[in-house]
Structure 1
Amino acid sequence: MHARVPAPPPRDTRLDVVRGWLQLTIFFSHAFGSFAGDWLVYGSWGLSDSSEQFVFLSGLVLGSVFARIAARDGVAAATRDMMRRTLRLYRTHLLVFALFGAMVVAAGAVLPGEAQGMGWGFMLRRPLPAAAAALTLLYQPAFMGILPIFIWCMLALPAFDALQRRVGEAALAAPVGLYLLVRMTGLNVPSLGPDTGIAFDPFAWQVVFMLGAWVGRRRLLRGHGLPRHDGVTVAAVLVLAVGLAARLAWAGITPWPHLDPSAWVGKEELVPPRLLHALALAWLVARFVPAEARWMHTAPFRVLAAIGRHSLQVFCVGLFLSWGVTAALRLWPGHAWIDPALIALGSAVMAGVAWRLDGALRRRRAEERRNTPPGPESSLGRPIYPHGTGATR
C-alpha cells in the first residue's frame, strides 16, 4: 500500500509570471548588441542572470511532481514518468539543434563566417562525427548548451529523490559536495566539439537544480518551502547590493577596487559569488512577491503568465528570434530604430505563441473535465522543463 498522497501545493501564479518575465529577459540577453539585452535584463545589474532562476524553478516543480507521483503510484512509475519527460526534452533539443544549425549555415550567404563563428564549423567539416557528437549532448555550438543542462539534471533527479527518502535533508550533502569538488578540481565533462566548449558544467550546475528539487519536495510534503528568517533576508539584500556595486564599477560608473569579473560572474563553472547571488535573488522573490495577487490577473501579467506556462516552446522560438535581431543589428548598424522595433516584434511573437498555446491548453482541459467522471484526480499535469524550458504545470 502506498503512503498517503500529498495534496498538490496551492496554485502559485507567481511562478508563471516570473517564468514569463525570465523568458523575455532570455530573449533580450541573446539579442546581442541590443539596448534591452545590455540594460534591461537584471543580469546586467548583478552577478547572476535568468539561467540560474530557470534551473532552480525547474528543479522545484519537477522535484515536487516526482515526489507526488512516487507517493501516488510508486517510485518506479515516477521514474518512468521522469524518463518520458527527459526523452521529450531530448527530442526537442535535437530538433532545435538541426533547425538552428540549418539557419546559421544558410545565413552565411549574407553573413560570411557566421557558422564558423558560432561553433558550427565542425558540422560543416565533418558532418557525421559532428552529428554523433550532437547526440551525446557534448557538441554545443552557440545557444545549443542550454537544454542539455536540464536533460542531465532530470536524469539525475530519481537518484536524488531516492537519497532524500533514505537520509532526509542530509541528501543535500551530495549535490553540495559535488559542487565543492568542482570548485577544488575543475571537474567538467569533455567537449566533443573542437571549436566549442560546454556551456554549463553539469557537475556544478546540478546544485541549483537539486536545491530547487529539495525545496519543491519539502513544499509538497510540509506545505512550505523554507521558513522565513529576517537574518537571511538581510544577508540576501546585502549580496544583491554587492553585486550591483560590482557591476557599476565594471561599467566605470562608480569607483571600486579592481576585481576580476571572471571570478565573480563565471557562468560555465558557476563560481560561488554567482551562485550566492542567484540564491539570494530567489529568496527575496519568494519572500516579497506574493503567490497570488489581483495585479497578476491584469492583462500584461496574464500574458507573462501564459509565456511562463509554455516556457519550453517560447524559449525555442526565442532562440531563433534573438539570433534574427542580432543579425539585423549587424547588417544595418546605422538604423537605431531597428533595435527597439525588433525587440518589440520578437516579444509580441513570443507572447502570441504563448497565448495561442494557452488557449489550446484551456480547451483541452475543459474537454478533459467534461469527459472525466468525478473522483480522484487522473493526472498531475505537466511541469515546467526549463531554461528550464517548460511546458505547463
Structure 2
Amino acid sequence: MSSPALAPPSTRDPRLDVFRGLCLVMIFINHVPGNAYEDWTSRNFGFSDAAEGFVMMSGIAAGLAYSADFREASMRLWTGLGRVWHRVWTLYLVHILTTLAALAAAASVALWLGNAESLFENQMKWLWLDPLRTVIGLVLLSHQFGYVNILPLYLALLAVAPLMLFAAWRWPRRLLAASVLLWLVAGIWRLGPPNWPSSGVWFFNPLAWQVVFVTGLVTGVMLKDGRRLVPVRRWLQVVTGLFLLYAALSAQIPAVSKMTGYTLWLAKETFHLPWNLTAFDKTYVAAPRLLHILALAYFLSSFPIIRRACAHWIAAPFELLGRQALPVFALGSVLCIGLQGIKHVTGENLLADSLLIWGGLALQFALAAARQYWPKPAKIR
C-alpha cells in the first residue's frame, strides 16, 4: 500500500523499513513481560499488535523482492523459485540457531543467577518431560518455543509464495478471496499444523495468518507495478481513522471495552456468526484483529506526510533496524528469553527494566549497524 504519489518501482520506500524497525522494537519490548515499557507499545492502543504489522510488511517485502521473476511464464520462474527457496532455507537455519541460543540463554540464567523458571516456560518444559520427541519436534518445526516462533510462520508462508506470486500477477482478486476463505474455514474448524509432542496447533497458525501475509504480498506486487491495491478515498480514510480511534479507546477505557465485548457477543448470538468473527484470538487472527491491521495499513499508507516523515533523519535508526530485520529479530528473540529470566530475579524495578530494555535495544542497533556499514570481506576464489 503506497501513498498517492507513487514512486518508481525501483525506488526503495522508506516506510517499509521504518515501520518494520518499529515493529521489531515493540516485539522485543512485548517479549519481556512485566517491564515498565510494555504499556506503551501498539498492542495497548488497538486490537492487533506488532506481530500482525511485521507479517504484513514481510508480505509486502516478499512481493517487492521476488515478484518480478513470476510476472512472465519463462525461465525466470526457475530463478525465482531458487531465490525464494534459498531464503526459506536461510530462515530455517536461523530459526534452529535462534532456538538453540534461546535455550542457552535460559540455561545461563539458571546457572549463574540461580533461577531456573525460564527453563520451564515458553514450551521449554517439554524438553524435560519428553526430550526425545521434543528434539525431533524442534527440527520438524512441530514444536516451537514461545517468543521464538514467528520465523516458522514466515518460512512456511514463503515456501508457498511462488504460487501466490504467480497468482498475484494474474488473478489478484481471486487470490485474496481464496485467502479470506481459507482464513475463515481455518478459524471455524480450528485447523492448523499440529504441535508435537504437545497438543493444539501452531501459535502463529499459517492457515490463518496467511491472510495478513497474502494481503501484504499482493500489495507488494501492485507496488512493483506502480499501482495501489486500494485507491485513496477520503471516505475510506475517515472510516479507517474512526475505527482505529474506537479500537484505541476500547483498549484503554474499560467501559468502552465492555461495550465492545457486549456488542460482539450480541452480534454472535443474534446472527449466529462463527466464533472467529467476534473473538480476539491471536492464533486464528480473529476478525477484530484482522480488520484493525488492515485499517491501520490503509490509513498510514494513504497520507503523503507519513512517507515524508519516514524519510526524515529522525526515523533513520528504525529504518536501519528494518533493513536488517532477520538478524535483528534473531538477536532480539534470544535476548528476550534471557531477559525474562533476569526479570524473575529483579522483579518490578524501573531502573533494572531500563537497563535491560535499552541495553537489549542498543545491542540490536549495534548489530544492524555492523551488518549495514562494516565492509564485507572479499570472497575467496
TM-score range, shorter chain: 0.7 to 0.9
* Residue identity opposite 1:65 in structure 2: A
* Residue identity opposite 2:35 in structure 1: S
- How far apart in 1 are the matches of 2:161 and 2:48? 24
Once the two structures are overlaid, the 10-residue window that deviates more, 123-132 or 237-246, is 123-132
How many residues are aligned here? 355
What are structure 2's unaligned runs of at least 5 residues? 1-7, 265-275
* TM-score (normalizing by structure 2): 0.85
* Residue identity opposite 1:77 in structure 2: T
Q: Which residue of 2 aligns with 1:371?
A: none
- How far apart in 1 are the matches of 2:193 and 2:291? 23
* Residue identity opposite 1:269 in structure 2: Y
Whether 1:351 aligns to 2:365 is yes
SS in 1 for 2:261: coil
Q: Which residue of 2 aligns with 1:284?
A: 299
Note the 1:1-393 alignment, pairs <5 A.
8-37=9-38, 39-71=39-71, 74-109=76-111, 110-194=114-198, 198-249=202-253, 252=254, 256-257=258-259, 259=261, 263-288=278-303, 290=305, 292-293=307-308, 296-298=311-313, 300-333=314-347, 335-360=349-374, 363=375
Give the conservation status (yes or no) of the 8 Å contact 2:168–2:175. yes
The change in CA–CA distance for 1:226 and 1:22 in structure 2 (over 3 A counts) is same
- How far apart in 2 are the matches of 1:234 and 1:22? 25
User: Pairwise CA RMSD of aligned residues?
Assistant: 2.6
Query: What is the Cα deviation at residue 241 of structure 1?
Result: 1.9
Q: Which residue of 1 aligns with 2:268?
A: none
- How far apart in 1 are the matches of 2:136 and 2:364? 32
- How far apart in 1 are the matches of 2:58 and 2:82? 18
SS in 2 for 1:259: helix
Query: What is the Cα deviation at residue 326 of structure 1?
Result: 2.7
What are structure 1's unaligned runs of at least 5 residues? 1-6, 369-393
Query: What is the Cα deviation at residue 195 of structure 1?
Result: 6.8
Query: What is the Cα deviation at residue 201 of structure 1?
Result: 1.2
- How far apart in 2 are the matches of 1:344 and 1:364? 28
Query: What is the Cα deviation at residue 120 of structure 1?
Result: 1.4
SS in 2 for 1:140: coil
Query: What is the Cα deviation at residue 166 of structure 1?
Result: 4.5
Query: What is the Cα deviation at residue 30 of structure 1?
Result: 0.7
SS in 2 for 1:265: coil
* Residue identity opposite 1:121 in structure 2: K
Per-residue CA deviation, residues 310-368 of structure 1 (Å, 9 max, x unaligned), is 011111111222233333332122643111222221221111111111103xx459x99
- How far apart in 2 are the matches of 1:270 and 1:77? 33
- How far apart in 2 are the matches of 1:28 and 1:356? 22
Query: What is the Cα deviation at residue 292 of structure 1?
Result: 4.7
Query: What is the Cα deviation at residue 259 of structure 1?
Result: 1.9
The change in CA–CA distance for 1:289 and 1:327 in structure 2 (over 3 A counts) is farther
* Residue identity opposite 1:69 in structure 2: D
Query: What is the Cα deviation at residue 254 of structure 1?
Result: 5.9
